[in-house]
Structure 1
Amino acid sequence: DFGKNIIPSVLKTHRLFAHPFRDKNTGNMMYWRDVGTLDAYYEANMDLVSVNPELNLYDQSWPIRTYQPNTPPPKFVFAQKEGEAPRIGHAMDSMISSGCIISGGMVSGSVLSNDVRVNSWASVEDSILFDGVSVGRHAKIRRAIIDKGVKIPEGLEVGFDPHEDRMNGFTVTDTGITVIAKGAS
């Protein structure tokens, strides 16, 4: 945590300088949010998908510089085979990064990093998925943070039963956010 560990440690051996960021038109402080806990990190990301987020990534007057990988745009797949329920990939109130494929799954109120795959009949709600996460068919994810490269098996439910999530080796925060660390599958 910056405020509790890093800054106090650096202050002991180095000179530090702070620069307040103020809106040049209003004089108001620009965006700052402490994301030093899993719950705070989750809430900051969920704010991004709200209609009027405090940090508006689309505000041209305060551009955000970030790395953009050379991957294709997100893809939403609709397919229907004879005798099979339709697979309609869709996302609502979400931020979907490049390289993602929503193949007949549903994403709602979530932030998906690059190269995430949501397979047929799977659902992701109010969650944060990092690069390369794969959500298997019929899996259900709710109120979760899932680290890079995690493969969610077909039919697994995450974020619905805290006891079951803990039994699966996942972390559950005080506010009920389920966290799946890198290397889990």
Structure 2
Amino acid sequence: MKNVVCLILGGGKGTRLLPLTADRSKPAVPLAGKYRLIDIPISNCISSGIRRIYVLTQFNSVSLHRHIRQSYNFDSFSGGFVEILAAQQTNEAMDWYQGTADAVRKQLRYISECGIDYVMILSGDQLYRMDFQEMLNTHLTAGADVTIAGLPVETKQTSGFGIIRFNETGRVEGFLEKPKTEQELKLVRTDPAWLQEQGIDSKGREYVASMGIYLFNRDTLVELLTKTDYHDFGKEVFPMSIRTRHVQLHMFDGYWEDIGTIGAFYQANLDLTDPNPPFSMDVAATPIYSRPRFLPPSRIDGATISRSLIADGCKIEPEVVIHHSLIGLRAVLGRRVVIRDSVLMGADFFPSDVRATTNPEGIPMGIGEGTVIEKAIVDKNVCIGKNVTIKLPPGFPSDGERGPLVVRDGIIVIPRNTVLPDGWKF
């Protein structure tokens, strides 16, 4: 693993995650109360023994840069690093990244250094836990030029993925982007008996989807990118590689979620509150790393809390009811507040900080007394007054707006720094 370098793609504009990505990149979106999405791929790399990590960024990257700088500092003896490679003008290229493959092409100088034999390419907006050592073993055993991670999926999921066709040895022979017709599906259907031989219970999952996780021989990647002008790995580089190179499948059968939409983000967060969550944050051997903040314990006084997660530094007053929700760092909930089926991201600073009292309405940071919030995502640093009701009324469309609030996928989103006066109702 010492000869592996990892490139984590910071993603594009993230329009499907708006307004959460209005002033931050997708990998910088908060996750599980105290993490950010970028912490997932970086933690997977560290747990797998990969110590040389580059994060390629382009849009709204200031908060992401700050988080990485404050979170990941290796000792001088390991030779490890997590560094930002931002889009920039050079003598070779004057424009921004035009796609995933183009982003890597513009940074080839960093993977052409001595001691790099393999290049791992990851997305910065997925939730999963994977040992990349196992993927490298698959790659080496097969003598592959490229290895791609695949996940078994059901028929109803295929229209959202690139589906892989492969032979009995796992060598990839074809790739079909988002098949929809029965004729297309027939071409890429996997024999359940083959999955059983791999130790995977198909459970009706007869297709293998690309997870967008690639492992290249370094020289193969350099050649593929320097001899073509392809912009995208999934749509162009990968299909071409199948025709000209040995591309191997690495099967994965754990939890994996692409956090690409408001609905997916909302569900992935609330799934963590389950008694037996599909993705566990407390695996001692493979922890999720993040920025150390040195916050005090949360203070909870006479609240009723069920099936929820509460992050550090919170202040929860008497008679508060929290059910099936996630409460982020430094959140302040006044008396008789009700939070149901919601994700609160918390705040960047305590209410006593001078930056928390700057709104002209004089509404203090946090959730005011008597406020009710149901099925919502509340971004950071909001100032919500007393007796506010934020609840989707019957018949409201799944995508719409009301005042400063927006609705996406049937979920109310309260943007960062929103101020709502006393008595405001959705």
* TM-score grouping bracket, smaller chain normalisation: 0.7 to 0.9
Counterpart CA distance in 2 for 1:8 and 1:34 is 21
What SS class does the counterpart of residue 43 from structure 1 fall into? Answer: helix
Amino acid at match of 1:115: R
Counterpart CA distance in 2 for 1:149 and 1:65 is 23
In structure 1, stretches of 5+ residues that fail to align are 78-87
CA contact (8 A) 1:90 1:102 kept: no
CA contact (8 A) 2:328 2:345 kept: yes
Greater Rg over alpha carbons, structure? 2
Instruction: Confirm or deny that 1:166 pairs with 2:401.
Output: yes
Deviations 1:93-138 (A, max 9, x none): 1110111111021111111111001110111111111122611111
Q: Relative to total residues, which structure has the larger helix share, 1 or 2? A: 2
Partner of 1:125: 340
Partner of 1:80: none
Counterpart CA distance in 1 for 2:13 and 2:332 is 36
Amino acid at match of 2:332: R
Instruction: Confirm or deny that 1:136 pairs with 2:136.
Output: no
Amino acid at match of 2:308: S
Partner of 1:59: 283
Amino acid at match of 1:63: P
How far apart are residue 72 of structure 1 and its match? 0.8
**Equivalent residues in 2 for 1:1-185 (5 A)?**
2=11, 9-15=99-105, 17-18=120-121, 21-22=130-131, 28-77=252-301, 88-104=302-318, 105-132=320-347, 134-161=366-393, 162=396, 166-174=401-409, 176-185=410-419
Counterpart CA distance in 2 for 1:29 and 1:148 is 34
In structure 2, stretches of 5+ residues that fail to align are 1-9, 15-56, 58-96, 106-118, 123-128, 135-198, 200-250, 348-364, 420-426
Amino acid at match of 1:154: K
CA contact (8 A) 1:102 1:117 kept: yes
Counterpart CA distance in 2 for 1:76 and 1:21 is 35
Q: Normalising by structure 2, what TM-score? A: 0.37
CA contact (8 A) 1:140 1:157 kept: yes
Amino acid at match of 2:314: C
Q: Cα gap change, 1:10/1:169 in structure 2, threshold over 3 Å: closer, same or farther?
A: same
Q: Normalising by structure 1, what TM-score? A: 0.80
Counterpart CA distance in 2 for 1:30 and 1:172 is 31
What's the C-alpha RMSD, in Å, of the aligned pairs?
A: 2.9
How many pairs are equivalent? 172
Counterpart CA distance in 2 for 1:167 and 1:12 is 39
Query: Comparing both chains, which one has the higher relative contact order based on Cα–Cα distances under 8 Å and sequence gaps of 6 or more?
Result: 2
Runs of 4+ deviating beyond 2 Å: 1-8, 15-24, 26-32, 159-163, 165-169
